[in-house]
Structure 1
Amino acid sequence: MVKAVVGDEAHLKAFEEALSSSSSSPPPQAQVGLVVGKLCASSDRALAYSLLPTPLTEAAAPACSLRAAPKPKASKAKAPSSSDATLEFDVDWIAEHARQVSRMLLGGMTVIGIYIWASEASFKATSPAVLSQVIRAVSQSCYGSTHGERLLIHISYSPRRWACRICEVASGSLRPCDFKYSKLLASLQTFRCTFNFEIRLTAVRAEPFKKVILKAISHLTEEVQNARALVDGCLFSEDINISTDDPHQVDFLVPFKNAVPIEECSLEGVAGLLRFAGSVSALAYLGPKESISEAISDLKADIITSLRSRLDIILDEADDGSATNELEQSLSQKVTQVVFHELREPFSFSFPRRVLIPWLSGAYVCDYLQQSETTEDAMDRCKEVIPLETATASSSILEPESAAVCGTLESFWDMVPGAPSGGRNRSRRLKDSGCTGQDDDDGSRRQQGAQSFNILAALFALLIALIAGVVFTFSAASNT
C-alpha cells in the first residue's frame, strides 16, 4: 500500500513553472497528463520521475477541458462563474497516450498515474467517479500493469499548491497521501543486459499467428523468471556489494530444460513449427533505497515487455494497412495472414529492433524500428508523446541490437513423420518449371520407361553371366 509519494525536485518544479507561465493569461485552462515513475515493491512509497502532458487529439482539441455548469432557468439569477465549471476528459485519447508511452519506457519506469492542472474549485466540482474512470483506463492500457494502485496528482493554480491521492483501481476509491521532493533522477543506477534466446514450438491447425507468438513468449517468460543473474561477473545474492558509479552489466543463466511440454511431444494436429530466436537488449533503472533484486526483476520484465511491444507493433501495422492486393501488403500484413498448414516452404520474419533515445538526466527511453525505418522516424514518434529535455540529434540514438529478433515458420510437410525431405523440393522444381497436367503424365511415362529399361538390362547381364559360367565349366572339363 502506497503511503507517500516522492517526486524529483528539479524536474517537477521546473515543470510547474512552465505550466504557470503558459497559463498566466485568462481565461483559466486545464491540462491532463501522465505520471512516469515507479511503485516500489519493497516499500510503501512511489517515485515520480516525470510528468508528460497528453498531446492534442486528432481534432486538435485538448484531452482535458472545462465544462461550464448549466445556466439556471431564472432570468435574474447570477450567471455561473469559472469556479462552477467541472473537468471533462477524453478518456480514450488519454488511455492511448498511456499505451504508447508505456511501450517506450524501460525497466524500472512505468506510467503510475495521471496529473491534473486545474483550479481547486473545478477539481472539487468534478465527480470522483469521473477521475477514477480516467485512472482505470490508463492502468488497463499500460504494459505489464499488475499493481492495484495508481496516483492522482492535482496541481492547483488557484491557490498554488500540490495534492496527491492514491486511487484503488478495483474500487475507484481515492485517499490522500503525503508528497515530498527529493533528488531522484540524479541518483538512478543503470543495469544493462543482452539476452539471447531460442524457442521452438509446434503450431496446431487453425491456430492464429498472434496466439502462436504469445505462446512462445509465455514459454520464454518462464525461462527468464527461472534464470540466475550474474551482476558485473558475480553470481547474485542478497548480500552482494556493487559500486554505484558505472552502469552494471547483468547476464542471465538459463537452466537446462529437464522436461518437454506434452503438447510439444505429440504430432497430433500439428500444422507447423515455429522457431523463435534472437537477442534482446534490456535496460533497467534502480531508484534510491531500492535493492538490487528489484533491478534484476525489472530487467526480466523489460525483456518480456519488449517482445510484447514488438508483437503489438506488427499487429497494429497489419490492422491499419489499407493495401488491396498482395503486392502492396506490408510485411506485417503478410506475417499475420500466414496459415500454418498451407505453408509449403519455410517463412521467416523479423521483429522491429529496439533503439535507445536520450531523455532526462542521462536516462533513456526506447522505440522500435521496422526494416524500412531510420532513427529519424524513431525520434519523430518519440517527440509526439514524450517531451525531450533538450534538442536531441538522431546521431545520439543508440542501436544496441545488432541482430534482430526473428521467427521462422516451418511448413506442415516438414512435420509429417517419414515424409521424404525431397518432396517439397520436387514440388518446387515442378512449380518453377511450370509442369502441370499432360506434362506430369508424360513425365510419369518416361520414368516408367526408364525403370523398365533398367530391369531388362539387369536380366540381360545375368543371362550373359550364366552363359559365360557354363562355357568356362565345359572348357575346364575338356582340358581335364
Structure 2
Amino acid sequence: MVKSVAGEETRLKSAEDRLSRSSITAEVGIIIGKLSLHLERGFVYDLIPTPPTDGGGPACSLKFDTGGWDGRKKGSKGGKASAEAIPSLLIDGEWVAEHARQVSRMLLGGMSVIGIYVWSSEASFKATSASALSQAVRVVAQATPSFESETNERLLIHISHSPKRWACRNCAITSVDLRPCDFKMSKLLPTLQTYRCMYGFDIRIPVDVVSTSNTFKNVLRSGISRHARDLQSARALFDGKLVAENQQVTSDGLHNVELLLPFKGDAQHGSSGDVAGLLVFRGAICAYAYLNPKEPASQAISDLKNDIINSLKGRLDLVFEEGEGTLDMASNDLGKESDEMVSGKPIHQLILHELRKPLVLSFPRRVLVPWLSGTFICDYLLSSETFEDVKDRCRELLSMEAPAESIGLLELETEAEPPIASSFWDVVRGNPISSNGEPKNKTPSIPLKKSKYFNFNL
C-alpha cells in the first residue's frame, strides 16, 4: 500500500503557476509517475492536462445540480435567495482514459500513468460525489493496464485554487474509497538512475490447421503473452556483472543491462494439432527503465521486462489502429485463388492457416525523445511517418515542445535487412543463410516487395 507521495517540485510548481495565470475554473489531466510497493511510496514526475475533446469542449467542466431547489430559502422573508448553488465537477472519464492510453504508450520502464489530477475550488471538489471521482480514476486505470500489475491503487491529486492548496488521495480501483495520504514536493527527476537493455528476440509460433482463432491478431498476441511468461525467468547482468536482486546499484551514469533467458526446448510452443505454417516474429528492442536510487536491482529488471512487453504490445496495437494498408503477397506465382484470399483484407482479419505464400510485415520503430532532466519518452514511427509526426504527438498528448531539430531524437533501433523468404522446414530447423543471401540447401528464395523494413520483421 502506498502510504506517502512525493512530487517533482519543479514540474508541480510549474503546473500550478500555469493554472493560476489562466482563467480556467476546472481542469483534469493525468499523473505520470510510479507507485513503488517496495518503498510503499508514490512518485509524481509530471502532470499532463487532457486535451479538448473532438468536439472542442473541455474534458472537465462545472455543472449546477439544484435537485429541484428553487433558489429560495424556506421560511425566509421576502423570498431572498439564501446562497448560490455550488457547482460540482463533470469529468469526461472516457476521454481522459483515451488520453491516458495513448500517453502510456510513450512512457518507458519505471514510468506510467498512475492516476488523475483535478484543478478546481475546494467547494466544487467537495460537491462532487466520491463515486464520480473514483469512477474517473477507475476508467483510466482500466485503459492503462500493466503487463506486471502489482497494485490496484491509483492516485487522485486535487489542486485547489480557492483556497490554494494541494491534496492527494489514494484510490483503490476495486472500490470507491478515497483515502488521504501524505504529500510533499521534492527533487525527484535528477536523482533517477537510468538502465538500458538492447534485447533481441525470435518468437516462433505454430499455426494450427483446426484452430478457430488463427487471425493474425490473435496468434501474435498469444505469442507475445507466452514470451512474456518466458521473460520472467530471465537473469540479468548489470554492466557485465551479476548483481544480487535485493542489492542496490549505487553508481551513477547509464547502466547497461543484458537479459539472459534460460535455454528451453520448443516443446512448450508446440501445437496440439496439424500445423499449417509458422509465424516468425523477430527483432530488437531498445528498452529503458528509470529507478529511484533506494529501489533494489530487482526492480530495474522488472521495469525493463515490463518495458519490453509493453513495447511489443503497443506496436502491435498501432498496426491494428492505424491500418497501415494490408498485407501483400511476397510473390505472384502461386495462383489467383490464393491472392484473392488475402488481397485487400485488413490485417487483424487475416486467417493465417489459409495462406499459401510467405508474407512480410514491418513493425513501427521506437524513437526516443528528450523529456525532463535528462530522461526520455518514446514514440513509434510507422513506415509512412516522419519526425514531424513525432513532434506533433508530443505537443498534442504531452503539452511539450519537441526538439526544434530532429538531431535531438534518438534512434537506437537500427534498420534491419528484409528477411529471405524460405520454406517452412528451413524456418523450423533454422537453416543458416549463405553469404550471398541464399539458403545453403539451395531452396529457391521468393523475391520480396521492395520497401523499408525496420527493426521488426514478421
- CA deviation vs aligned residue, 1:391-448 (integer Å, no higher than 9, x gap): 54332111110046999998989999xxxxx9x98xx9xxxxxxxxxxxxxxxxxxxx
Contact 2:246 2:296 in 1 (8 A): no
- CA deviation vs aligned residue, 1:168-196 (integer Å, no higher than 9, x gap): 10012111110011110011111001001
- Which amino acid in the other structure matches residue 361 of structure 1? S
Stretches of structure 1 that go unaligned for 5 or more consecutive residues are 322-326, 417-421, 429-480
- Which amino acid in the other structure matches residue 315 of structure 2? R
Residue of structure 1 in register with 2:397 after alignment: 385
* CA gap 1:167/1:96 in 2 versus in 1, 3 angstroms: same
Pairs within 5 Å for 1:151-170 = 151-170=155-174
**1:274 aligns to 2:296 (yes or no):** no
Q: State how far apart, in whole Å, the 2-side matches of 1:129 and 1:406 are.
A: 53
Q: Which has the higher helix share?
A: 1
- Which amino acid in the other structure matches residue 127 of structure 2? A
**Offset, 1:39:** 0.4
Q: State how far apart, in whole Å, the 2-side matches of 1:55 and 1:408 are.
A: 45
Contact 1:275 1:409 in 2 (8 A): no
**Offset, 1:243:** 5.0
Contact 1:94 1:138 in 2 (8 A): yes
**1:254 aligns to 2:266 (yes or no):** no
Residue of structure 2 in register with 1:98 after alignment: 100
* CA gap 1:200/1:67 in 2 versus in 1, 3 angstroms: same
Pairs within 5 Å for 1:151-300 = 151-205=155-209, 206=212, 207-238=214-245, 242-258=249-265, 260-261=267-268, 264=270, 266=272, 268-300=273-305
Contact 1:352 1:368 in 2 (8 A): yes
Q: State how far apart, in whole Å, the 2-side matches of 1:67 and 1:396 are.
A: 44
* CA gap 1:87/1:319 in 2 versus in 1, 3 angstroms: farther
Pairs within 5 Å for 1:438-477 = none
* CA gap 1:408/1:46 in 2 versus in 1, 3 angstroms: farther
* CA gap 1:333/1:377 in 2 versus in 1, 3 angstroms: farther
**Offset, 1:200:** 1.1
Pairs within 5 Å for 1:41-440 = 41-70=37-66, 72-73=69-70, 76=79, 78=81, 81=84, 84-144=86-146, 146=149, 147-205=151-209, 206=212, 207-238=214-245, 242-258=249-265, 260-261=267-268, 264=270, 266=272, 268-318=273-323, 334-388=346-400, 392-403=404-415
- Which amino acid in the other structure matches residue 87 of structure 1? L
Q: Secondary structure at the match of 2:384?
A: coil
Residue of structure 2 in register with 1:467 after alignment: none
Contact 1:196 1:280 in 2 (8 A): yes
- Which amino acid in the other structure matches residue 30 of structure 1? A
Bigger mean CA offset, 243-252 vs 189-198: 243-252
Stretches of structure 2 that go unaligned for 5 or more consecutive residues are 73-78, 327-338, 429-440, 447-458
Contact 1:227 1:253 in 2 (8 A): yes
**1:17 aligns to 2:17 (yes or no):** yes
Contact 1:276 1:408 in 2 (8 A): no
- CA deviation vs aligned residue, 1:270-295 (integer Å, no higher than 9, x gap): 23211111101100001232122111
**Offset, 1:269:** 3.5
Q: Secondary structure at the match of 1:347?
A: coil
Residue of structure 2 in register with 1:472 after alignment: none
Q: State how far apart, in whole Å, the 1-side matches of 2:145 and 2:344 are.
A: 21
**Offset, 1:342:** 2.4
Q: State how far apart, in whole Å, the 1-side matches of 2:292 and 2:418 are.
A: 33
**Offset, 1:264:** 1.3
**Offset, 1:143:** 3.8
Q: State how far apart, in whole Å, the 2-side matches of 1:196 and 1:368 are.
A: 18
- Which amino acid in the other structure matches residue 270 of structure 2? E
**Offset, 1:69:** 2.6
- Which amino acid in the other structure matches residue 49 of structure 2? P
- Which amino acid in the other structure matches residue 12 of structure 1? L
- CA deviation vs aligned residue, 1:78-108 (integer Å, no higher than 9, x gap): 2863x61000011110010010011100000
Residue of structure 1 in register with 2:5 after alignment: 5
Q: State how far apart, in whole Å, the 2-side matches of 1:364 and 1:384 are.
A: 17
Contact 1:348 1:408 in 2 (8 A): no
Q: State how far apart, in whole Å, the 2-side matches of 1:413 and 1:337 are.
A: 26
Bigger mean CA offset, 288-297 vs 59-68: 288-297
Q: State how far apart, in whole Å, the 1-side matches of 2:103 and 2:411 are.
A: 19
Residue of structure 1 in register with 2:449 after alignment: none
Q: State how far apart, in whole Å, the 2-side matches of 1:15 and 1:143 are.
A: 26
- CA deviation vs aligned residue, 1:134-166 (integer Å, no higher than 9, x gap): 000000001416221000000000000001111
**Offset, 1:52:** 0.4
Q: State how far apart, in whole Å, the 2-side matches of 1:320 and 1:170 are.
A: 40
TM-score by length of 1: 0.78
Q: Which has the larger radius of gyration?
A: 1
TM-score by length of 2: 0.82
* CA gap 1:74/1:353 in 2 versus in 1, 3 angstroms: closer
Q: Secondary structure at the match of 2:38?
A: coil
Contact 1:349 1:408 in 2 (8 A): no
What RMSD, in angstroms, separates the aligned Cα atoms of the two structures? 3.2
Q: State how far apart, in whole Å, the 2-side matches of 1:234 and 1:297 are.
A: 17
Q: Secondary structure at the match of 1:104?
A: coil
- CA deviation vs aligned residue, 1:1-39 (integer Å, no higher than 9, x gap): 11100111121112111111113xxxx610000011000
Contact 1:317 1:332 in 2 (8 A): no
